[in-house]
Amino acid sequence: MRITINKFTFLLPNRFIGFVLKKAVINEDLFGDKTEKEVQDLFKLVRKELIEFKKRNGRIVLVDVKDSDGSRVKIVL
């Protein structure tokens, strides 16, 4: 997984996908009354699904945010 924040690019192992998505895409208040284990299990499934998708279809830009002030965040799997 490649995360670009403005001019800086970070390469992260795919095992961090769930963590990154949790922070970047889905707000924690959406977890509702789910337990921490339920959330962790869900993100394990998310990671598995994304990795399988990448194997079948190749690289995918998950998120690309360009803010009005010029800042940019891009997450590429």
Partner 1 sequence: MSKWENDISYPDITILSDLSELLGVSLDELLGKTTEPTVIQQRTEPKDSKDMILRIVINDSDGSKVKVNLPLSLIKLGLHSNFQVSSTGNKEILKDIDFDQIIKMAESGLIGKLVEIEDEDGTTVDIFID
Compute how many other C-beta atoms are within 10 angstroms of the C-beta atom of residue 3: 18
**Regarding beta strands 61-66 and 8-11, do their DSSP bridges make them parallel or antiparallel, or are they unpaired?**
unpaired
Cβ partners under 8 Å of residue 21, min gap 6: 43, 46, 62
Q: Which of residues 44-63 bind partner 1 (CB under 8 A)?
A: 45-46, 49-50, 53, 56-57, 60-63
Residues in a beta bridge with 8: 5
- Does 35 help bind partner 1 (rule: CB under 8 A)? no
Comparison of 12 and 24: residue with beta carbon closer to partner 1:
24
- If the CB atoms of residues 19 and 53 are measured against partner 1, the closer one turns out to be 53
Interactions with partner 1, residue window 13-32 (CB under 8 A): 25-27, 30-32
Q: What number of chain residues touch partner 1 (CB under 8 A)?
A: 23
